[in-house]
Amino acid sequence: MAQIFTASADTRLRALIMAALGVFVFTITGAYTFVGAGHSVGWVRDQPVPFSHQHHVGGLGLDCRYCHTSVETSSRAGLPATHICMTCHSQIWTNAEILAPVRQSLASGKPIPWRRVSRLPDYVYFNHAAHITKGVPCVTCHGRVDQMPLMAPAHSFQMGWCLDCHRNPLPQLRPPADVTRMDWTDWNPDASSKEEIARVATAVKSLHPDTLTDCNTCHR
C-alpha cells in the first residue's frame, strides 16, 4: 500500500498531534486550577456591587452582626438583606450608578446576586453558631476583613487547618462577646496569664474537645 505521508511528514503529524494533546491537557488543568482558585487565599471575585468591608467595617465601624444577622444563631452567617443597605443608602449616595443593583434589588424584591467567596465542599458540615458562641473570633477564619476593599479568602479551609485548631482550641478562644473584634493580634495567648485563658475557657460552657477530631463531627 502506498504511503500517504512521507516519513518526515509523518513525524511532523505526530509532533502536531502531541502538541495538540499537550495544549488540551494544559487547558484542562489550567481551567481546573482556575476554578479551584475560588478558594485561593487573597483571590478577589467580581461582585455585582463593589462592596467594601474596609469602608463599612474599618471606616464606619459597623459590627459584623449588623449585616450577617444569623451568625450567632444558625449554621450560616447569612448575607445582608437589601433593606439593610438601604438604611443608609436611601439617604446617602442615593443616585450613585455604583449602587444601581441595590436599588433594583429593593424594587424587584430579588436579592443581590453576590458571588460566594469562602465555601466548603458539600460533604463537609460547618456551623457558625457553634464557633461564635464558644468564642472563636471571625478574624481567625476570615482574616482582617476590615482591611479588605473587596472580600478575599484568608484561608483555604483545608481539613488539616480545621484540625489544627480542633486538636487544641483553648488558646484560640476569646471572650464570646468580643468575637467580631478584628484586632486580636494584640492578644497573645502565649503571653497571657493562665488565669486569663482559664477565664475565657470558663466563659465557654460545655466545651467538649474530646469529640472535636472525630470524623463525623465534620462529615455527617
Please, which of residues 43-82 interact with ligand HEC by CB under 6 A? 47, 49-53, 55-57, 59-60, 62, 64, 66-68, 71, 76-80
Which is closer to ligand HEC, CB of 16 or CB of 159? 159
- Interface with ligand HEC (CB under 6 A), residue from 83, 110, 199, 219: 219
The mark string for 135-154 relative to ligand HEC (x by CB under 6 A, - otherwise) is -x-x-xxx--xx----x---
CB of 168 to ligand HEC, least distance (A): 9
Place of cell 499537550: 22
Q: For residue 119, state whether it binds ligand HEC (rule: CB under 6 A).
A: yes
Q: Are residues 154 and 43 in contact, defined by beta-carbon separation less than 8 angstroms?
A: no
Kindly give, in sequence order, each residue whose CB lies less than 8 Å from that of residue 92, ignoring residues fewer than 6 positions away: none
78: which 3 cell numbers? 447569612
C-alpha closest to that of 200 among 171, 158, 161: 171
Closest CB 38 distance from ligand HEC, rounded Å: 10
Contacts of 211 (CB under 8 A, 6+ apart): 217
| Minimum distance from residue 76 beta carbon to ligand HEC (Å) | 3
CB atoms within 10 A of CB 63: 10
- Residue type (1 letter), 28: I
Residue 10-39 contact track with ligand HEC, rule CB under 6 A, x = bound: ------------------------------
> Is 170 buried (19+), middle (13-18) or exposed (0-12) by CB count in 10 A?
middle
100 touches ligand HEC by CB under 6 A: no
Instruction: Give residue for cell 497573645.
Output: 188
Residue 165 touching ligand HEC (CB under 6 A): yes
Indicate the SS3 state at residue 92. Answer: coil
Tell which one of 9, 19, 125, 167 touches ligand HEC (CB under 6 A): 125
| Nearest approach, Cβ of residue 202 and ligand HEC (Å) | 14
